[in-house]
Amino acid sequence: MTSTATNGSRPTAIEVRGLVKNYDQVKAVRGVEFQVSTGEVFGFLGPNGAGKTTTINMLCTLVKPSAGTASVAGHDVVRERDDVRRNIGLVFQDPTLDGYLTAAQNLQLHAELYGVQSDLVKPRMEQVMSMVGLWDRKDSSVNTFSGGMRRRLEIARGLMHSPRVLFLDEPTIGLDPQTRRSIWTYIRELQHREQITIFMTTHYMDEAEWCDRIAIMDHGEIVALDAPETLKAQVGTDRVVIHTDDDDATIEALKDRFDVDARISEGAVTFSVAGGEQFVPRLFAELGIPIKAVNVARPTLDDVFMSYTGSTIRDAEEDAGRNRSRRMMQVMHGGGRR
């Protein structure tokens, strides 16, 4: 988290130029460009439907780009598909384990498919499984594993063939906060130990803090790209949340006296202002409405996201969710599964 990796000093692990993907009329990815240095933990942040998964699929050679180029571990994703595949590890958003096999059998299968030298399969398996704390469960059927254990096992499997770049698509989706934290600890540790590059997507803002650099993606484009700390510093304003008896009057008074645009968010009056701590005394003195509680927060990635996209990531998600459920309804009423 501390290192603000810059390009140039270290060799490039991923290089993307003008990458575009169109599905029929839908422009899923509209010309993204970025570089990831070797050993970096690089995060793609954005709401569902922003084009993160499509981008990751293009980098993993699963989807052909409509335009633009990308190279991973020094190989072109279109022309040198096999070379890319030999050098990357993948952990998908949806589980891809065989539940009827044991953990060890799943990893064995992976090693055989990737052609790992037979004499190294066992030691490597022990190493990656120990790393995610599953070595003692190696002979259990995967069906008996919890969601967090499965995800850890998938990460271990993705590492089985010592990839140079590990792709993680929403590695913590659907997991409880505690498991998410432990997964992140594993990810940071293995990055350190194996010296590999990690490229991941997430729509959890707090998780992006674990990345060296993040790219914020919205509507198929990268709207911001830098270290989380730098991005937060750029926002420049603090978030102030106050509780009063009359929220509407408070919002009006804030506009009149301080020229501040406030809104109700999660049941309290919320607004952004530069130098929040200095602002609070003035607020108490001049607002004219009794304040019951006040909270000043340094900018978070939520604020960063907001300042670049004009909406919170949750709102963006809800919009996407509404569209999705509407589509589902149509499909169901259309009377048929595709």
Partner 1 sequence: MSTTTQRAEAAPDASTTEVVRVTVPKRSLASELRAIRIVWRRELIRYRSDRLRMVTTLVQPFLFLFILGSGLQRLANAGTHGVSLRTFIYPGILCIAVMFTAMFSAASIVWDREFGFLREMMVAPVRRSSIVIGKCLGGATVASIQGVIVICVAGLAGVPYAPLMILGIFVLQLLLAFSITAFGVMIAVRIKQMQSFMGVMQMIVTPMFFISGALFPSSGLPGWLAVLNRLDPLTYAVDPMRRLVFNHLSISPAARAALDPGITWWGWRVPSLLEVGMVVALGLVMLGIAIWQFSRTE
Chain residues that interact with partner 1, rule: CB under 8 A:
60-64, 82, 85-87, 90, 92, 94-101, 105, 108-110, 112-117, 120, 123-124, 126-127, 130-131, 133, 135, 160-162, 189, 192-194, 337-338
Q: What is the closest distance, in whole angstroms, from the C-beta atom of residue 201 to partner 1 in the complex?
A: 16
Q: Which is nearer to partner 1, 135 or 204 (CB)?
A: 135
Q: Which is nearer to partner 1, 92 or 145 (CB)?
A: 92
Q: Which is nearer to partner 1, 106 or 250 (CB)?
A: 106
Q: What is the closest distance, in whole angstroms, from the C-beta atom of residue 295 to partner 1 in the complex?
A: 38
Q: What is the closest distance, in whole angstroms, from the C-beta atom of residue 122 to partner 1 in the complex?
A: 9
Q: What is the closest distance, in whole angstroms, from the C-beta atom of residue 51 to partner 1 in the complex?
A: 17
Q: Which is nearer to partner 1, 89 or 148 (CB)?
A: 89
Write a three-state SS string for the chain: CCCCCCECCECEEEEEEEEEEEECCEEEEEEEEEEEECCCEEEEECCCCCCHHHHHHHHCCCCCCCEEEEEECCEECCCCHHHHHHHEEEECCCCCCCCCCEHHHHHHHHHHHCCCCHHHHHHHHHHHHHHCCCHHHCCCEHHHCCHHHHHHHHHHHHHCCCCCEEEEECCCCCCCHHHHHHHHHHHHHHHHHHCCEEEEEECCHHHHCCCCEEEEEECCEEEEEECHHHHHHHHCCEEEEEEECCHHHHHHHHHHHHCCCCEEECCEEEEEECCHHHHHHHHHHHCCCCEEEEEEECCCHHHHHHHHHCCCHHHHHHHHHHHHHHHHHHHHHCCCCC
Q: Which is nearer to partner 1, 66 or 127 (CB)?
A: 127
Q: What is the closest distance, in whole angstroms, from the C-beta atom of residue 244 to partner 1 in the complex?
A: 50
Q: Which is nearer to partner 1, 292 or 338 (CB)?
A: 338
Q: What is the closest distance, in whole angstroms, from the C-beta atom of residue 117 to partner 1 in the complex?
A: 6
